[in-house]
């Protein structure tokens, strides 16, 4: 099980520039450091290994015909300890095993929704299990939720 310390090093994989900027602002307002942004799988691959994110927010539909499932796979190959959270308007396209991701934040989301989801994710990664109730803005993967029972 991944146990992290705060502040998190965060990677944002999102092809909509304004949305990526909003996520970046919310992440930084929560006290974390954005270590990279990418709009496609190729851009994730181009990031230096030293970027080493603790947490990655990944959209499912990315630029240049690439997708978030491939991006999540690449993130796990390059930075095995990174926790992946999908951020998508199409949560039903995520496989039952969440492709190794820790959960999903469905779009559209509000500022408060993303902030409460991030807080809950922090609790689940730093000192599991989370002490606050799961917000409506976050769906934990079955594996992530089960890891709190150990």
Model pLDDT for residues 74-97, shown as the tens digit of each residue:
999 999 999 999 999 989 999 999
Domains defined for the chain, CATH in brackets: 9-147 (3.40.50.2300)
Model pLDDT for residues 124-135, shown as the tens digit of each residue:
988 888 988 999
Model pLDDT for residues 56-77, shown as the tens digit of each residue:
999 999 999 999 999 999 999 9
Q: Are strands 139-140 and 103-106 parallel, antiparallel or unpaired?
A: antiparallel
Q: Provide the edge-to-edge strand list for the sheet that holds 83-88.
A: 33-38, 9-13, 55-58, 83-88, 103-106, 139-140
- pLDDT score at 33: 97
Summary mean pLDDT of the chain: 93
**Above pLDDT 70, what percent of the chain?**
97
Residue 46, number of CB atoms within 10 A of its CB:
10
Assess whether pLDDT exceeds 70 at residue 3. Answer: no
């Amino acid at each position: 099980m991944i146990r992290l310390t705060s502040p998190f090093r965060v990677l944002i994989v999102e092809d909509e520039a304004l949305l990526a900027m909003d996520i970046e602002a919310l992440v930084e307002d929560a006290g974390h450091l954005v270590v990279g942004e990418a709009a496609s799988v190729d851009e994730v691959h181009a990031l230096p290994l030293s970027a080493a994110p603790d947490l990655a927010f990944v959209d499912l539909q990315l630029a240049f015909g690439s997708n978030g499932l491939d991006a999540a796979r690449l993130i796990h190959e390059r930075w095995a300890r990174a926790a992946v959270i999908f951020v998508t308007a199409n949560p039903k396209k995520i496989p039952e095993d969440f492709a190794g991701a820790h959960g999903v934040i469905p779009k559209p989301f509000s500022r408060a929704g993303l902030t409460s989801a991030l807080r809950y994710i922090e609790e689940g990664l730093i000192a599991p299990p989370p002490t606050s109730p799961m917000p409506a803005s976050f769906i934990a993967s079955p594996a992530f939720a089960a890891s709190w029972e150990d």
